[in-house]
Amino acid sequence: MMTTQRKILAPVANVETQAYWDAADAGKLLVKKCQSCGEPHFYPRALCPFCFGETEWQETNGEGEIYSFSVMRRAETPYAIAFVKLDAGPTMMSNIVDCDFDGIAIGQRVRVVFQPSNGGHKVPMFTPV
Ligand SMILES: [Zn+2]
């Protein structure tokens, strides 16, 4: 079963995430890293979720592996949700696209692809490498 294009809701950027969405539009996946404890995290926050230190943006290589996933076959257009553990450290929830859902596996290497949303920023999703 191949994926078909599903309408993606335009994400709403705020002060904390504007740089993230601008980077996504430019084809780059950013995470935030703490200037105090050095831990990267996702979803981007102004303060570190571990120690409340100041955070800074860090560009990732856009790659990671599937930590867990679920295929929504009963949706009008079936889709796959996954937690992707980025090489950069954090785990992010996203979609797996442009592949045969039957072939998705835990531990599979994936790379980011930026999908156009419905009139807004591009949204990072992942496809098998
Ligand atoms: Zn910290």
Interval between CA 47 and ligand 1 midpoint (Å): 8
Q: How many CB atoms lie within 10 A of CB 27?
A: 12
Q: Pairing between strand 123-128 and 40-41?
A: unpaired
Tens of pLDDT, residues 55-104: 999 999 999 999 999 999 998 999 999 999 999 999 999 999 999 999 99
Interval between CA 53 and ligand 1 midpoint (Å): 5
Whole-angstrom distance, CA of residue 116 vs CA of residue 93: 17
* Cα Rg of the chain, angstroms: 15
**pLDDT at 36 exceeding the cut of 70:** yes
How crowded is the C-beta side of 20, counted as CA atoms within 13 Å? 20
Domains, the chain, ordered by start: 18-128 (2.40.50.840)
Interval between CA 54 and ligand 1 midpoint (Å): 7
**Residue 4 pLDDT level (bands cut at 50, 70, 90):** low
Assess contact for 40 and 32: CB atoms under 8 A: yes
Sign of the Cα pseudo-torsion (79, 82, 86, 89, in order): positive
SS3 category, 103: helix
Q: What value does the mean pLDDT of the chain take?
A: 94
Interval between CA 102 and ligand 1 midpoint (Å): 39
Of the listed ranges 8-17, 84-93, 116-125, the one predicted with least confidence: 8-17
pLDDT of residue 3: 56
